[in-house]
Amino acid sequence: MFKRGRFPVEIILVCVRWYYKYGISYRDLTEMMQERGVEVDPSTIMRWVHRYAPELEKWVRWYQGYRAASWRVDETYVKVGGKWKYLFRAVDKHGRLIDFMLSDRRNTRAAHRFLSKALTTMRHWPPSSVTTDQLGSYPKAISRLQREGKMPDSTKHRTCKYLTTSLKQTMVRSSKSFDRFGAFRP
């Protein structure tokens, strides 16, 4: 993954990690690296982030570990890169992110695709219950996933307005980061 790099792997990993974990700009990261004796250009750090972040995210997913078996799933309308999209999110009962997905539509097909993606991400820890709002797409998507064998038949689907309230509140807070950075950042 890090073949033919001019910089040591440790420096690349630190820059990518600090960029995502702390929201530090490329210029500030450059300055921080200079304080540590490493001369690196902001555009180089940007290339590292674009090149290595998706692969690192796959590695990190496994080590994030177990999530509670009770999922809360919801969607909201956000502006990403000047276009309105639906942000589907799933969290466990403790509020820890399971998965997210951007979609142009909010229909059964999008709900199925999102839940399938979340189940693939958490394939070792399937849900015992999925709580959603009253969107009619979720029951159809869940029953289809159960017929396909991707979701256990024992998984219960609940529709409850107040259980997804905390998820809606975190979505409002996270949507402010869309405005701050001007584009979507995972």
Q: Dump pLDDT digits (tens) for 52-62.
A: 888 887 777 66
Assess whether pLDDT exceeds 50 at residue 131.
Answer: yes
C-alpha dist (Å) from residue 133 to 28, 107, 108, 168: 41, 14, 14, 10
Q: Dump pLDDT digits (tens) for 17-48.
A: 888 888 889 999 999 999 988 999 999 999 99
Instruction: Flag whether the pTM goes above 0.75.
Output: no
CA–CA dist 54, 102 (Å, integer)? 16
| 3-state secondary structure at position 23 | coil
